[in-house]
Amino acid sequence: MNLKGKTILITGGASGIGFEAAKKFLAIGAKVIITGRNQAKLDAAKKELPSIITIQSDAGKEADAQALLNTVKVLGGIDILYNNAGVLVPPLNLGIPNAKHLEGAAYEMEVNYLGVIRLNNIFLDMLTSRNEAAIINTTSILSMTPSLIEATYSSSKTALAFYTVSLREHLRIIGSKVKIFELIPPLVATEMTADRNDKKISSQEMVKGLINGLSKNHYTIRVGDSKIFNFINRFFPGIAFNIINPKQNHQLLKN
């Protein structure tokens, strides 16, 4: 897929992977629109990258989604919708009754899964009208094997992974030209994972892998350890489960 000259909307684009992607897309010659909940972060992003367009918008709110569509229409539309926004509720022990379990799971599902479907639905007509268009959904290595300490987050990303495969096939059946990409990151060094001591890759490496996959029309884009992990999970699921859930994490479940 040729990114030069495309207009790309990145949700959650004011920091982390989204912001790094914005920088790289601009360097390629794309026009970039980023969204986020935090206006201060959007202002900081705009200061560093004056050519980007920033729109305050919450990926988990229906009213914000509709307002976003209306604003994007005024701006001339987009060619690529990059669903990058995501949330992770602090780990909870699901084995112990806790009123926060459902609240956290609902929040993660609203942003990580339902919010993506909502944006895809309202932007699909616009994307269909373009000569070359795409949707990029960001899932996770945890959509292959769940993390016991991030169980509901894993579930939200698994739901998104299944939806992404289904959406791609549905569009193929009806003859749509819109390309559906699934980006499967390993653990990436961002604000969300700052308190994790596990092996991480940088946002720069993550985005490099994304752009390489897009350029080659690899509809499933695995970056870093998610490549080898896919093989391990397929043929040695027990080993894969233990990689994601090492014994030292068991203590977290007991506390």
How many H helices and E strands in the chain?
10, 7
* Domain membership flag for residue 20: yes
Pairwise CA distance, residues 26 & 19, whole Å: 11
* Domain membership flag for residue 246: yes
* Domain membership flag for residue 104: yes
Residue type, 65: A
Residue appearing with tokens 């987009």: 78
Residue type, 46: K
* Domain membership flag for residue 1: no
Residue-level pLDDT at 187 = 81
Q: List, in order, residues 6 or more apart from 168 with CB less than 8 Å away.
A: 180, 219
Inform me whether the pLDDT recorded for 15 exceeds 70. yes
81 pLDDT band, cuts 50/70/90, is very high
Residue-level pLDDT at 190 = 65
* Domain membership flag for residue 74: yes
Residue-level pLDDT at 251 = 61
* Domain membership flag for residue 2: no
Pairwise CA distance, residues 79 & 207, whole Å: 18
DSSP letters spanning 198-225: S--B-HHHHHHHHHHHHHTT-SEEE-TH
* Domain membership flag for residue 42: yes
Residues 137-187: pLDDT tens digits?
999 999 999 999 899 999 999 999 999 999 999 999 999 999 999 999 988
Pairwise CA distance, residues 231 & 210, whole Å: 19
Residue-level pLDDT at 255 = 58
CATH number for the domain spanning 244: value is 3.40.50.720
Residue-level pLDDT at 75 = 97
H/E element, 66? helix 62-75
Q: Specify whether the CB–CB gap between 60 and 123 falls below 8 A.
A: no
Residues 190-244: pLDDT tens digits?
666 556 666 678 889 999 999 999 999 999 999 999 999 999 999 999 999 999 9
CA angle 167, 17, 147 (to 5 degrees): 70
Number of domains in the chain: 1
- Please give the residue range of the domain that contains residue 75: 7-254
* Domain membership flag for residue 95: yes
The model carries a pTM of 0.93
Tokens at residue 135, please? Answer: 């949707």
Which residues is 138 bridged to in the sheet?
A: 183
